Amino acid sequence: MTCAMGSQCCKNLTNGDAHTIANNNSTDVVQNGIEETATQSLEVLGPKLSSLRPYYPTQEPIFPPDLKINHKEYHGATVKICGPRVTWIRPISLDEMLQLKKQFPKARFVVGNTEIGIETKFKNQSYPIIVSSTHVPELTYIQDTDQGLQVGGSVTLSQLDGELKQRVRTLPEFKTRIFSEVVEMLKWFASQQIRNVASISGNIITASPISDLNPLLVAAGATVQAMSKDRGCRTLTMDKDFFCGYRQTALAPDEILVSVVIPFSKSNEYFGGFKQCNRKEDDISMVNAGMLVRLSEDWEVNKLVLAYGGMGPALVLARSTMETAIGHSDLSALQPMDSQELKTMQVVGAQDSRSKVTDCVGQIIPHKAALQQSTGQAVYVDDMVPTQDEVHMALVTSTKAYAKILTIDHSAALAVPGVVDYISAKDVPGQNSLQSQMDSVFSEDEVTCQGHIIGAVVADSADVARRAAKMIKIEYEDKSPIVITIEDAIKHSSFYTGERRISTGNLEAGFAASTFTLTGEIRLNGQNHFYLETIATRALPGEAGEMEVFCSTQHPNCVQEKIANALGLPSNKIVVRTKRMGGGFGGKETQSALSAVPCAVAAHKLQRPVRCVLDRDEDMITTGNRHPFLAKYKVGFSPDGKLHALDLELYSNAGNSLDLSFAVAERAILQIDSCYKVENLRIVAKCCKTNIMSNTAFRGFGGIQGTFIAEAIQEDVAEYLGIEPFKVREANFFHKTDLTYYGMNAGGDSVRRCWNMCLDKSDYFRRRALVDQYNRENRWKKKGLAITPVRFGIAFLQSFMNQGGALVHIYTDGSVLVTHGGTEMGQGLHTKVIQMASETLKIPMSLIHISETATNTVPNALATAASVSTDLYGLAVKVACETLNKRLEPIKAKHPHAIWEEIIAAAFRDGISLSATGFYKTPGIGINMNTMKGIPFAYFTFGAACTELQIDCLTGDHKLLRTDLVMDVGDSVNPAIDVGQIEGAFTQGYGLLLLEDIKVTPDGAHLTRGPGNYKIPSFGNIASEMNVYLVPDSPNPSGAFFSRGVGEPPLLLALSAFFAAKDAIRAAREDSGASPRFRLDCPALPQHIRMACADEISKRFPQVDPASYRPWTVDL
Ligand SMILES: Cc1cc2nc3c(=O)[nH]c(=O)nc-3n(C[C@H](O)[C@H](O)[C@H](O)COP(=O)(O)OP(=O)(O)OC[C@H]3O[C@@H](n4cnc5c(N)ncnc54)[C@H](O)[C@@H]3O)c2cc1C
C-alpha cells in the first residue's frame, strides 16, 4: 500500500521528519514485557517511537500514516507502553489477559475507557496498570445460540445495536422483544461517540446503580460467562445476587467477563425498558427499569420481573410487587407520549417600511461568519497558533466555602517536570483587586467560596499545569457560618448593604379595596451559561510594559482596565482583542477577567506569553451563574382577577462578591409588573451575600426573574379564583395610555397586538377545547396550554452606559474596515452592523469587513449586553459613515458617473481623510434608582407565546408539542438573525425553567461541572412544532433603522412552556381531587412535576422534616 503522503510519507523521511504519534522521553516502550509477546511488540513500535522528534505545536497534527499502512502489524502484536504514571498493556490473547488479571487483580481492564477515563480525569483516581481488551478475539465475537445472542465482553454498544437490529429484522417478532427494548434503550444511552467505543462488559462490570443496560439484562435473565486463570470458566445468571453492592458484581477479583448471552423472548413473554432523566438524549438516568412479564395461556401473569436502577446503591428488584402485583392495570399509563414529525415555520412578513436604495437592511442575510463557524475555520482564542515560548496556566482554587488560608505548599507542584512557576497574590505588581465590586485577583488570607482563585500554576503544557495545580497543598481553618442558600442568608442576615425599596400608590388602601388577598412564595433557581467556548485568554508581553491580550470576553475594555490596575500600568499599555466568542450569554461580561487578569500577571512576571483556557469544570466552578431568586408576596385582587395591591420581598443569591447583583435586582424590580397594571405596589429587594461563586449577568439579567414572579402571581390568583389564567392576564393588561409605576408609557397596545396575533396564530381557543377534552379522556397523560405576554425594556439602567463608539476606515481600493465597541458572540451583531454600514455608505456588503473588537481602535466601550448593541454600535457606525459621506459629497458631485472605487481613489488624491469615528448616545433616558421614577428604557420589545406541552403524570416526563412565538422586533434589520435569536432564546429559557439543574451541596461544592451532569436542551427538547412570527408594520423610531433589540426579550417567551406544564399538572390534580392552587418552582424537573400531580401514589411518600436530615444538594 502506498501512503497518501507520497514522498512526504514518514517512512521516507529521516529521523524526526515524520509526523509524530508520541513525543517525549517519558513515554517509551520497555523491554521487560510481561510475556514474550510483549517483547515482540517492541520490535514493532519501539524503534520508531524513540526515534521520533517532539511534537511541534506549530504543525498541524495528522493521523500517523505509518499506523495506517502498517495497521495489521500493530494490531497483531501485544503492546506495552510505560509512561511515568501509567503502564498501558494491550494483549491479543485470552490467555495473556487471564494471566494479567491474575498478576494484577487491581488493574483496570478497559475497552472504551469511558468510565475509567472519567474516574482518572475528574475523580482523581490513579490506576498504574491499564489493560486494554479490545484486541482479544474471544471478547470481540458475536454468535447466535439456542438461547439467544452471545456477545463478547469487548463488543461495543454500537456493534451490539447493529447486531440486535439485524436480528429484530429477520427473526420472528416474539423472539426479539428483549432485543427490541435493548435497541430502544441504546438510542438514549450516552451519545453515538460514546456508544462507538463503550462496551457491554464496561457497563456491566462498572455496576453503576444507574446503568442503563443492567436493569434490562437482569429482567431478561441474561447470563454472563466469567473466566479466571486458575479456575477456568463459569456461567452466572444476572439475577438478584449478581449486583451485590455499590459498584460491585459477583465476579471474583481474578475473573474477567468473557461474554454475555442476551436471551430470546418467548411467545408468551413481553418486555419493556424505561429510562427517566431530565433530558432524553445523552443524559444519565435518574431512574430506569427493565420489566418482563410472562402470561399464561389465559392471559394471567405467571412471571413478573421488575428490575430498577437509581433506587439505591445497587440495582433492586421490586420483589413484593413481583410476587403480589398480578392482576389488571390501567393501560393508559403505558401509552407513549405524543410524537409527530418535527414542523417549523418562520413568518417574517413583508413589513419593511424603510426606504430602500442599495440597502440590505431588512433582508435575510446569513451570519457573516456562518461558513467559517460551521466548517471549523473560525478562529477562537485556543485555535491561535502558540508562539515558541508560550506557556500554559491552570488555576488553583479553594476547596472550602469559607475558611482562613493557613499555609500554601507548592513545592511538590514546582518539582513536576515542565512546571515553570507558581503565581499568587505576591506576584501582582499593582493592586490585587478586580475592582467594580468584584474580588481580589488572587485571594490571600481567606476564601469565601469553593472555586475561589488562590493561585495559578504555569507549565509548558496545559495538562502538566492542571496536574501540578492539583498538587498544591493548602491548609485551611474553617470559618462559620457558611451561608449557601437564600434561606441561610435570611437566617444569618447576610445581605449586601443598599437594599432596593420602591413604593407606589397606597398599599393599605389597595388591600382594603381587594375582595381577596393571598400570600405565597415562589423561587427560580440559577442557570449555568454553558457557552460552547469556555473562557480563554492569551497574554503576550511586549516592550516597556506593553501587553497584548486575546480574550474571549464580552467586555474587552473591562479586561483592559483590570489588567492595567493589577499590573500597575496605564491602560494605554494594554491592548485587549476579541475576534469572536463561542457564546457569552452574560457569563463573559465581567467574569472573563477572573482568569484573564491572573493570566496577564503571569505573563508580566515571566515575560513570556501565557495561555489560560479553562477546562469546562474549571469554568463551571470558578465563574458564577444566573442569580437564583426567592419572592415572598402578598397580593390583593377582585373576583375577576384584577390586581389592586402587591407587596413583595425579593431575595437574590448574589454569591461571594457583589459584581452586578444590584443591577440584576433593579432590572427584576422594573420587570415585576410584566405587562400588568398594579396601582399599589411595594417592593423590597435584597442581595444575599453567600459563600458560592459570585453570580453574574445572564441573558435576561433579572428581567426573566422579575417576569417569572409576576406571571406566577397571575397564575396563583387564577388558581385561587378557579378561572383560566389567560383571563386573569387579560384583566390586568396595561391599556394604551397607561404608565408603568416608574412613569414610562407601558406600551399596552403593543402588548395587545402581539397577544391577539398569538391567540390567532396559535388557534388558542380551538386548541384549548381540544386540550380539555384530551385531559378528560386520559388519566395518566395530561396536556397543558398556556399563553404569556412579553414586554422587555431596552437599555442599560445606568444611563451613561448607553453610549457606543465606532471607527470606519476606507482604503484606497474602496474596501471598508468597520470597527466598533461591540463584540461578536454568535448573535450576529457584526452582520447587522455591516448591513447598516452598507445602507449608509450605499455600497454592497461585500466591500465591508469587521475583523475584531479591540481596545486600541474603539476605546472605553461598554459590555456587549442588555440587547442594546445593534442600536448603539449600528448608530455609531452610521454616524461615522455619514461623516465620510459628507466628505465624499464634493467628489461625487464632481464625478457623478464614477463608481465607488473611482470616487475613493479621487478623494485620496484630493487629500480627503478616509477615516472617521462615530459616536452614539441614547437620548432622553434616565431613572432615579432611589425613587425608581424616570424613563429607564429607550423603548420596549414586545411579544407573546403560546405553548402546548404534554406530561406523564406517573414519571414527571414532559414533551413540548407546539409553540407559537410572536415577537415585535420593529422593522427587523435581519429577520434571519432575529428568528435565530428568538428560537435560541426560547430554548435557553425553556432550559432554565424546565430542565437545567445546578447541583450544589450544603457546604457549597458544585456537583454539576460539565456536560455529563449538567444538561442543557438538546434536539429532543425542541417543540414538535415551532412557529415564529415577526409582527408586521411596526417601525420603532427609537431603535437603529426602526428595529428593536432582540437579544434578551425572547427568553421570556419560554414562560409559556413553564405555565403550560402547570396547566397540565392542574388537570392531573383535578382528577385526583387535589387543590388547584399549588406552588411550582423553577426549574420544574420531572420529580417536581410528578409529585405536583398529587395522586394516591405520591401521597404515600411521607413528608420528611427538612431539619431531620442533611440533603445531598440544596436549592440556592
Ligand atoms: C459522556 C458519557 C455518557 C455516558 N452515558 C451513559 C448512559 O447513558 N448510560 C449508562 O449506563 N452509562 C453511561 N455512561 C457510562 C459508560 O459509558 C458505560 O458504562 C460504558 O458501557 C462503559 O464501557 P467502557 O468500555 O467504556 O468501560 P471502561 O471504562 O473501559 O471500563 C469500565 C469498567 O469495566 C471493567 N471491565 C471492562 N471490561 C471488562 C471485562 N471484560 N472483564 C472485567 N472487567 C471489565 C473495567 O476494569 C472498568 O472497571 C456514560 C459515560 C460517559 C463518559
Q: pLDDT tens-digit profile of 814-859?
A: 999 999 999 999 999 999 999 999 999 999 999 999 999 999 999 9
Q: Which of 201, 242, 258, 1009 most suits a substitution to test ligand 1, by most atoms within 8 Å of the C-beta? A: 201
Q: Using alpha carbons, select from 192, 211, 209, 210 the residue that is nearest to residue 201.
A: 211
Could you tell me if the CB of 214 is within 6 A of ligand 1? no
Burial 992-1004 (b: 16+ CB within 10 A, else e): bbbbbbbebbeeb
Whether the link from the prior residue into 1083 is cis, omega within 30° of 0, is: yes
Query: Closest ligand 1 atom to the C-alpha of 108?
Result: 47
Ligand 1 neighbour 256 (Cβ under 6 A): yes
Write down the H helix ranges in 857-1007: 869-894, 900-909, 975-994
| Contact of 838 with 830, CB cutoff 8 Å | no
The DSSP call for residue 657 is: S
Q: Count other C-beta atoms under 10 Å from residue 212's C-beta.
A: 23
Question: Amino acid identity of 256?
Answer: I
CA 316 to chain CA centroid, Å, is: 33
Q: Give the pLDDT mean for 170-175.
A: 96
Confidence at residue 51, expressed as pLDDT on a 0 to 100 scale:
58
Distance 198 CA to ligand 1 centre (A): 6
Please state, in angstroms and rounded to a whole number, the distance separating the CA atoms of residues 916 and 876: 11
Q: Is 809 exposed, middle or buried (CB count within 10 Å of its CB: 0-12, 13-18, 19+)?
A: middle
For residue 78 and ligand 1, the question of a CB distance below 6 A is answered with no
Cα(147)–Cα(179) distance, integer angstroms: 13
Neighbours of 1069 (CB within 10 A): 21
Report d(CA 691, CA 485) in Å as an integer. 9
Question: If you measure from the C-alpha of residue 587 to the centroid of ligand 1, how many angstroms do you get, rounded to a whole number?
Answer: 33
pLDDT exceeds cutoff 90 at 76: no
Q: Which pLDDT does position 451 carry in this prediction?
A: 96
Ligand 1 in reach of 586 Cβ (< 6 A): no
Q: State how far the Cα of 882 lies from the Cα of 823, in Å rounded to an integer.
A: 22
pLDDT at 227: 96
Cα atoms found within 13 Å of the Cα of residue 437, Cβ hemisphere only: 16
Shortest-distance atom of ligand 1 to CA 117? 29
Burial 763-775 (b: 16+ CB within 10 A, else e): ebeebbeebeebb
Q: Whose CA is nearest to atom 11 of ligand 1?
A: 211
Could you list the residues known to form a binding site for FAD, using ranges: 189, 199-203, 212, 257, 275
Ligand 1: which atom is nearest the Cα of residue 205?
Answer: 34
φ, ψ of residue 79 to 5 degrees: the values are -125, 135
Instruction: Please identify, by atom number, the ligand 1 atom nearest to the C-alpha of residue 211.
Output: 11
Q: What is the number of the ligand 1 atom nearest to the C-alpha of 139?
A: 41
For 320, the grid coordinates are 413484593
Maximum separation of any 2 CA atoms in the chain, in Å: 101
Lowest mean pLDDT among 297-311, 643-657, 804-818: 297-311
Query: In the prediction, which pLDDT does 295 show?
Result: 85
Residue with cell 449600528: 874
Cα separation, 360 vs 363, whole angstroms = 5
Would you state the cell numbers that stand for residue 1114, as one nine-digit string?
440544596
Chain centroid offset of residue 271 CA: 35
- Mean pLDDT over 768-775 rounds to 98
What is the Å distance from ligand 1's center to 755 Cα? 50
**pTM of the predicted protein model:** 0.90
Cell of 212: 442503563
Is the distance from the beta carbon of residue 249 to the nearest atom of ligand 1 less than 6 Å? no
* Atom 32, ligand 1: residue with shortest CA distance: 202
| Contact 212 CB / ligand 1 (< 6 Å) | yes
- Ligand 1 close to Cβ of residue 113 (< 6 A): yes
Secondary structure class of 321 (helix, strand, coil): helix
Cα 263 to middle of ligand 1, angstroms:
22
Tell me if 1072 sits within 8 A of 1096, measured CB to CB: yes
Name the 3-class secondary structure at 197: helix
**What is d(CA 662, CA 665) in angstroms, rounded to the nearest whole number?**
5
Instruction: Supply the mean pLDDT for the chain.
Output: 91
Give the three cell numbers for residue 32.
521487560
Q: What CA–CA distances, in Å, run from 1012 to 115, 149, 279, 281, 1083? A: 12, 31, 12, 12, 19
The answer, yes or no, to whether any atom of ligand 1 lies below 6 A from the CB of 118, is yes
Degrees, nearest 5: CA angle 359-361-365: 105
CA of 221 to the centre of ligand 1 (A): 21
Q: How far, in Å, is the centroid of ligand 1 from the Cα of 369? A: 39
Q: Does the beta carbon of 1057 sit less than 6 angstroms from any atom of ligand 1? A: no
Residue nearest to atom 15 of ligand 1 (CA): 115
Lowest-pLDDT range of 217-221, 760-764, 1032-1036: 1032-1036
Distance (angstroms) between ligand 1 centre and the Cα of 314 equals: 16
Counting Cα atoms < 13 Å in the Cβ hemisphere of 839 gives 23
Question: Are residues 1066 and 1079 in contact, defined by beta-carbon separation less than 8 angstroms?
Answer: no
Q: What's the confidence (pLDDT) of residue 20?
A: 29
Over the stretch 506-562, which tens digit does the pLDDT of each residue have? 999 999 999 999 999 999 999 999 999 999 999 999 999 999 999 999 999 999 999
Cα torsion through 382, 383, 388, 393, rounded to 10? 10
Ligand 1 contact, 967 CB (< 6 A): no
Q: d(Cα 259, Cα 377) in Å, to the nearest integer?
A: 44
435575510: which residue's cell? 364
Active-site residue set: 1048
- Dihedral sign computed on CA atoms, order 1038, 1041, 1046, 1047: negative
**Ligand 1, pocket-test mutation among 110, 141, 218, 1018, most atoms within 8 A of CB:** 110
Please check the confidence at residue 11 and state whether its pLDDT lies above 90.
Answer: no
Structural element, H or E, at residue 244: strand 243-245
Residue ranges of the annotated binding site for substrate are: 589, 667, 701
Distance CA 378, CA 591 (A): 23
Cell numbers standing for residue 935: 424613563
What is the per-residue burial (b if ≥16 Cβ within 10 Å, else e) of 689-700?
bbbbbbbbbbbb
pLDDT of residue 52: 58
Q: What cell numbers appear for 202 in the block?
A: 464496561
* Percentage of the chain modeled with pLDDT above 90: 82
Among the residue ranges 8-17, 518-527, 1001-1010, the one predicted with the least confidence is: 8-17
> What is the position in ligand 1's atom list of the atom closest to the CA of 118?
53
